[in-house]
């Protein structure tokens, strides 16, 4: 038995069509976690897809009610364990089987969110990229090694949630309550995109995410713009001007306290060769957008951004000749380590008041906050993972200190105290939260090979790396 034989075996598995069939079954389950109508399907995904598959691999499985949910059907959590020997290294891995809303009627003709359609290298379907395709790759790599070797050579614990697309409610509390059961030596999982389709990637944390709302309430109802124009304040005008004192016309944040303390040289060095927006299907970059003086990679991996997600006033679908009495804006801060994340609301409120917008109310949105995290790029696990991936692909990998997006990595890094390695199997233009979500078949194939190599190397070298770090 050799490492290359294992990689050849998982390649044959992909080429046979078996992986496509497996992923098709998982995509077909409408596991939408953002609406109560989708809650029943969340348990179905665990009971029909995860548990039978994992039990075949010798895992014990238990489903828990989410401690952060009022509805017992909402966002269940699965813990699976395969303990070969307590003296071996223990890996914790993670995935989420929930997806965002399907937006069925918005997909291009011939496509459906719940049925994988292949067009060349594109595999269209909800969850193909986020996250059903990615955790299916990792589990299939483990299964391949078990079938070939009869054992993994390390212990595995799996934490599987069904509420990530709703902000991972209850996940951190669950991990606090079950810290001993989830105790491990290393965390490896897959979510988010590579830096580009052809660039195997390793990232060590994620930017944080904080959603908030701005509200202006001037009066009840709307009033005729001819009779009252020039006499009544316009709530939408107040709101737009308030936003413009937070961020300028080129996307630069104007509130110093909303920015990180600095851009560390270690981060600057790590991202200096990272391509951003260079993929064939990536949108064209707005090079003058955001913080001046930073490269595109520094802006997305090393800095904070302030974005409007949505805003409303009046009736956009049927505008009336009336002055809106109220207006609402949904905003979001993506932030890195070194930001004053515990004080964002008071910082924004104080800044608005200083600029004469004390009529604009600021509050946190219902979405859960995700904290910013970043493993030291010099950690021994990082070098080990880079070497493993290069051994499989023959390529230098793209290492980024933290993902530009947000993941519940603080739960694994801070609450559980684990070194965190993320090896993504998607790419930036996968459209994961909108219509026409897709993965690339070529990336899925290479990712199966990468993860098979990673898990092979973990059995061979993991205990030694653990001892060196102590």
* H or E element, residue 398: strand 398-400
Q: Distances in Å between the alpha carbon of 358 and those of 119, 217, 244, 345?
A: 53, 11, 15, 13
| Secondary element (H or E) of residue 241 | helix 235-244
Query: What's the confidence (pLDDT) of residue 418?
Result: 98
The candidate with the shortest Cα–Cα distance to 448, out of 9, 1, 46, is 9
Please tell me the predicted confidence (pLDDT) of residue 368.
Answer: 67
At 279 the pLDDT is: 74
For residue 376, the tally of other CB atoms under 10 A from its CB is 13
Q: So what's the pLDDT on residue 65?
A: 98
> What local confidence, expressed as pLDDT, does residue 266 receive?
84
Domain boundaries of the chain, sorted by first residue: 3-206+372-469, 209-276+288-364
Give yes or no for a contact between 385 and 423, defined as CB atoms under 8 angstroms apart. yes
Cα–Cα distance measured from residue 437 to residue 124, given in angstroms and rounded to the nearest whole number? 6
Record: fold of 3-206+372-469: Aminopeptidase (3.40.630)
Short-list 192, 239, 193, CA closest to 214: 239
Bond prior to 412 in cis (omega within 30° of 0): no
Q: Kindly report the CATH number that applies to the domain delimited by 209-276+288-364.
A: 3.30.70.360
Q: Could you tell me the mean pLDDT of each successive run of 10 residues in the chain, 470 residues long?
A: 95 98 98 96 98 98 97 97 97 98 97 98 98 98 97 98 94 98 98 92 94 97 96 98 98 98 89 83 89 94 96 94 97 95 97 98 85 92 97 94 89 97 95 96 98 98 95
Under 8 Å between Cβ of 14 and 399: no
Residues 6+ apart with CB under 8 A from 194: 200, 201, 398, 424, 425, 426, 427, 428, 443
pTM: 0.85
Closest Cα partner for 129 from 93, 156, 165? Answer: 165
Residue 438 main-chain phi, psi, to 5 deg: -155, 160
Specify the pLDDT at position 367: 67
């Amino acid at each position: 038995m050799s490492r290359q034989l294992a990689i050849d075996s998982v390649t044959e598995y992909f080429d046979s069509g078996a992986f496509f069939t497996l992923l098709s079954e998982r995509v077909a389950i409408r596991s939408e976690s953002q609406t109560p109508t989708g809650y029943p399907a969340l348990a179905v995904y665990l009971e029909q897809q995860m548990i039978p598959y994992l039990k075949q691999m010798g895992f014990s499985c238990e489903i828990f009610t989410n401690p952060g949910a009022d509805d017992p059907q909402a966002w269940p959590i699965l813990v699976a364990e395969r303990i070969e020997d307590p003296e071996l290294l223990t890996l914790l891995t993670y995935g989420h089987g929930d997806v965002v809303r399907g937006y069925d009627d918005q997909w291009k003709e011939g496509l459906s969110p719940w049925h994988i359609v292949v067009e060349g290298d594109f595999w269209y379907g909800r969850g193909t990229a986020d996250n059903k395709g990615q955790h299916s790759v990792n589990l299939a790599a483990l299964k391949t090694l078990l079938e070939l070797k009869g054992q993994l050579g390390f212990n595995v614990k799996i934490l599987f949630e069904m509420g990530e697309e709703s902000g991972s409610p209850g996940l951190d509390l669950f991990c606090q309550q079950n810290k001993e059961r989830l105790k491990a030596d290393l965390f490896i999982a897959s979510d988010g995109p590579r830096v580009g389709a052809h660039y195997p990637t390793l990232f060590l944390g994620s930017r944080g995410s904080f959603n908030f709302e701005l509200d202006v309430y001037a009066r009840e109802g709307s009033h005729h713009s001819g009779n009252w124009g020039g006499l009544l304040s316009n709530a939408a005008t107040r709101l737009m001007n308030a936003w413009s004192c937070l961020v300028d016309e080129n996307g630069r944040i104007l509130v110093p306290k909303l920015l990180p303390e600095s851009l560390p040289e270690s981060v600057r060095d790590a991202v200096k060769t990272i391509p951003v927006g260079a993929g064939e299907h990536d949108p064209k970059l707005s090079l003058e957008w955001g913080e001046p003086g930073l490269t595109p990679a520094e802006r997305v991996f090393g800095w904070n951004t302030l974005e409007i997600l949505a805003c409303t006033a009046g009736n956009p679908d049927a505008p009336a000749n009336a002055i809106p009495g109220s207006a609402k804006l949904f905003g979001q801060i993506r932030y890195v380590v070194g930001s004053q994340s515990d004080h964002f609301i008071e910082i924004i409120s104080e800044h608005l008041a200083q600029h004469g917008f004390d009529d604009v109310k600021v509050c946190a949105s219902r979405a859960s906050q995700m904290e910013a995290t970043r493993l030291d790029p010099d950690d021994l696990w990082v070098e080990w993972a880079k070497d493993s991936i290069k051994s499989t692909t023959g390529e230098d990998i793209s290492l980024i200190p933290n993902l530009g997006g947000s993941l519940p990595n603080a739960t694994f890094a801070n609450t559980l105290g684990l070194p965190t390695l993320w090896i993504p199997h998607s790419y930036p233009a996968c459209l994961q939260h909108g219509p026409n979500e897709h993965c690339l078949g070529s990336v899925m194939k290479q990712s199966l090979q990468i993860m098979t190599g990673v898990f092979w190397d973990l059995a061979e070298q993991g205990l030694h790396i653990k001892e060196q770090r102590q």
